[in-house]
Structure 1
């Protein structure tokens, strides 16, 4: 990529371009691997139910408890990262979750399954908010949605490529006397551990310590970021937690995650039902279609939002309304139309997330920003924990498989309304002068 953005200062352009080339591929690779390890449990569901007697309730609890642990440790993890730096914390986090994901292949009962999912949530809690904090440390607001967009692109690609990989690994059932899901968890967990070791030697904590920048480039980048931070509230973690605006953002992010994970964990089963088949390689290929489609949205829509920053709120609202429409249509459509509708949903709720993460750095900075990001991801994790159970409970309450999807659609519309309430002035980056509460 020749140029990333155009600033008046060519030295700043050079610094941003170098930071992009150095950090964004690593951010993408780590999240790509992390997301495979996070959601591959959906492909193991049916096989684990047969092999270890895993019930639907225990699966929903295990799928969700990951996020309960994530929520418990989200804010502390980000504050630790802010204190000790990205190099140590992100590399340790990646290695830890890789080991824990691999160990999931050794569970023999429901209790062990739930415990490993909880520990995996603890292990990964610092990663996603940490990467977002790293993006705010290195990249100016003008291109931040595009940066996070490439990072989040790891999600659809992980689900597009990871789905058939997970499905293929399940076909190893019986190899060396082990079930297919053992090989899936083991072989998809090892890369994270290796990437964690690599990240320790590759990452630099901040622009001042960046080995890949000249002193002139460091100065220009630090000056630009400092200018942006002067327009925000700088304070402690308590400053962020006392902010109504931060709570508003956290609630938005939480409702987004209900939509995402209420669909994601059940998509392989839903596709299998549409195809009249069991989960395997063929189903995994079809289940990858919505994520392949969403990759285009995740790549292009945040760039449009960066080009027209005053429209970030409107673009976000449209993304969530599209997601809601797709969820509703998928509940009452035949196989072909349902897959098209699910693809629309995937485009909507994945494309909105890079745009969302441009909002917190325009409100707070410093330790307050670390806490705000941590709090938003904590709220998202808590809501993600509830998402599978919300869908299961609604379907059981109404005795209908479509009821869960409709409930998700209504929640997604509510999310769109919350986003619409954001100040467009803030979304455009025209923040008020700093004040302290």
Structure 2
């Protein structure tokens, strides 16, 4: 099985080379992202029990769920600059071990203020993981294959929902009261520990860059180094920025920042509140809540792979990204409008999640075309930094709307409008055209 489609490449030799790299890196990074996303959003399930135990209101939960992203955003750019300096292997190990320890520590929360503090620290600890992996992809894959590479990585979000929702519900229901601990305490303990263990594995498994890795032949090492170096030169020749300042003055990068912000608002708004939305449909069992909450993620996992392959094969990003944003906006509006009809509401959430996750795969293939070198490291982190404020804004907004109006669906309408604006921003992005003759199999258009 080829993780990256054969028709993405102009020759069989490149297909074999980059699929070998894909099989080495992507399944492992995919597992890491499942753990990361699960530790980030399992608080949505924990709320079903912990609210009564620690006196957590809907608005307080929304604030605490979102304050994670304040700490996350503060440390995003410094983290990515450090990764470029010290290498991905050491830096991702540091990130994972620290966030795993803090995630487990959530089991000891007893007051809303403690909840806020630990969520903030957890955001600081995890900062740099996602943009760090995006930057890491630029070290190993040419731009015309990155949408598929990002799809396999982002599949971790979908699988965290498919596997994590039922698992979280089962843990909380099964372990409640065991050894005197509440179900939500067991949830943080069981789901936080793998981050520490896998963080240690990262140090021994990942290689910082191609060039002298043992699982590629000397010829393959040199081929990938030569091709990616030639691509960077072609991008700079076509107008891609390469210094730190270039990341902050590129107008298209700021458009991508808003697109990422809007998509993250929708994705996290749905992810954090999905358990409450499902229970609002009349589902009482925690296990059944988890199984039903997994449906939108399961559908999205298929859609994102199909869209990313088509985007890479056609070497087109703008229309793919625009249509993904439109689909996500439509799904959010449908879920809100039919909030009292379970099947249609769930269908809308599935469409919203599918459009959102597929949109991420297309979006994150673009920064490495707009920017190179230090500018790419800063630019990728900048997109994630400001974009992830959506992870703060949407849970808090949803909590505020629900507490003030009693209607969670009003918040979904707001997210739909934001994502619709994101569709326009994505359509406005016009990356520099590159000379196809300069680099073998370089994309003809974006």
After TM superposition, the score normalised by the length of structure 2 is: 0.92
Q: 1:95, CA displacement in angstroms?
A: 1.4
How many residues were matched structurally? 430
Q: Which one of 305, 308, 311 corresponds to residue 311 of structure 2?
A: 305
Runs (5+) with no aligned partner, structure 1: 433-437
Partners of 1:316 and 1:65 in 2: how far apart? 28
Q: 1:214, CA displacement in angstroms?
A: 1.8
Q: 1:325, CA displacement in angstroms?
A: 1.2
Q: In the alignment, is the contact (CA less than 8 A) between 2:72 and 2:126 conserved in 1?
A: yes
Partners of 1:401 and 1:355 in 2: how far apart? 30
Trace 1:316-331 onto structure 2 (pairs within 5 A). Answer: 316-331=321-336
**Aligned twin of 1:392:** 399
Trace 1:11-26 onto structure 2 (pairs within 5 A). Answer: 11-26=13-28
**Aligned twin of 1:250:** 257
Trace 1:348-387 onto structure 2 (pairs within 5 A). Answer: 348-387=355-394
Partners of 1:431 and 1:340 in 2: how far apart? 34
Q: In the alignment, is the contact (CA less than 8 A) between 1:15 and 1:218 conserved in 2?
A: no
Q: 1:46, CA displacement in angstroms?
A: 2.4
Q: 1:425, CA displacement in angstroms?
A: 6.4
**Aligned twin of 2:36:** 34
**Aligned twin of 2:220:** 217
Q: Which one of 403, 413, 420 corresponds to residue 406 of structure 1?
A: 413
**Aligned twin of 2:242:** 235
Q: 1:225, CA displacement in angstroms?
A: 0.7
Q: In the alignment, is the contact (CA less than 8 A) between 2:248 and 2:379 conserved in 1?
A: yes
Q: In the alignment, is the contact (CA less than 8 A) between 1:313 and 1:424 conserved in 2?
A: no
Q: Which one of 83, 102, 115 corresponds to residue 117 of structure 2?
A: 115
Q: In the alignment, is the contact (CA less than 8 A) between 1:363 and 1:431 conserved in 2?
A: no
**Aligned twin of 2:95:** 93
Residue 398 of structure 2 aligns to a residue whose secondary structure is helix
* 1:341-388 deviation line (CA, Å, top 9, x unaligned): 111111110111011011111111111100000000001111221111
Q: In the alignment, is the contact (CA less than 8 A) between 1:234 and 1:365 conserved in 2?
A: yes
Q: 1:211, CA displacement in angstroms?
A: 2.5
Residue 206 of structure 1 aligns to a residue whose secondary structure is coil
Q: In the alignment, is the contact (CA less than 8 A) between 2:77 and 2:378 conserved in 1?
A: yes
Q: 1:421, CA displacement in angstroms?
A: 1.0
Q: 1:234, CA displacement in angstroms?
A: 4.6
Residue 388 of structure 2 aligns to a residue whose secondary structure is helix
Q: In the alignment, is the contact (CA less than 8 A) between 1:324 and 1:412 conserved in 2?
A: yes
Q: Which one of 412, 422, 426 corresponds to residue 415 of structure 1?
A: 422
Partners of 1:8 and 1:431 in 2: how far apart? 15
**Aligned twin of 1:63:** 65
Q: In the alignment, is the contact (CA less than 8 A) between 2:296 and 2:353 conserved in 1?
A: yes
Partners of 1:156 and 1:3 in 2: how far apart? 17
Structure 1 residues 80 and 335, CA, compared in 2 at 3 Å: closer, same or farther?
same
Q: 1:134, CA displacement in angstroms?
A: 0.8
Q: In the alignment, is the contact (CA less than 8 A) between 1:78 and 1:126 conserved in 2?
A: yes
Q: Which one of 151, 172, 186 corresponds to residue 189 of structure 2?
A: 186
Q: 1:112, CA displacement in angstroms?
A: 0.9
Q: 1:395, CA displacement in angstroms?
A: 4.4
Runs (5+) with no aligned partner, structure 2: 435-441
Q: 1:431, CA displacement in angstroms?
A: 7.6
After TM superposition, the score normalised by the length of structure 1 is: 0.94
Partners of 2:83 and 2:432 in 1: how far apart? 31
**Aligned twin of 2:141:** 139
Q: 1:237, CA displacement in angstroms?
A: 2.0
Q: In the alignment, is the contact (CA less than 8 A) between 2:62 and 2:400 conserved in 1?
A: no
Q: In the alignment, is the contact (CA less than 8 A) between 1:290 and 1:343 conserved in 2?
A: yes
**Aligned twin of 1:198:** 201
Structure 1 residues 316 and 431, CA, compared in 2 at 3 Å: closer, same or farther?
closer
Structure 1 residues 397 and 49, CA, compared in 2 at 3 Å: closer, same or farther?
closer
Partners of 2:92 and 2:25 in 1: how far apart? 13
Q: In the alignment, is the contact (CA less than 8 A) between 2:106 and 2:118 conserved in 1?
A: yes
Tell me the C-alpha RMSD between the 2 structures: 1.9
Structure 1 residues 10 and 342, CA, compared in 2 at 3 Å: closer, same or farther?
closer
Check if 1:207 corresponds to 2:214.
no
**Aligned twin of 1:282:** 288
Residue 236 of structure 1 aligns to a residue whose secondary structure is coil
**Aligned twin of 1:435:** none
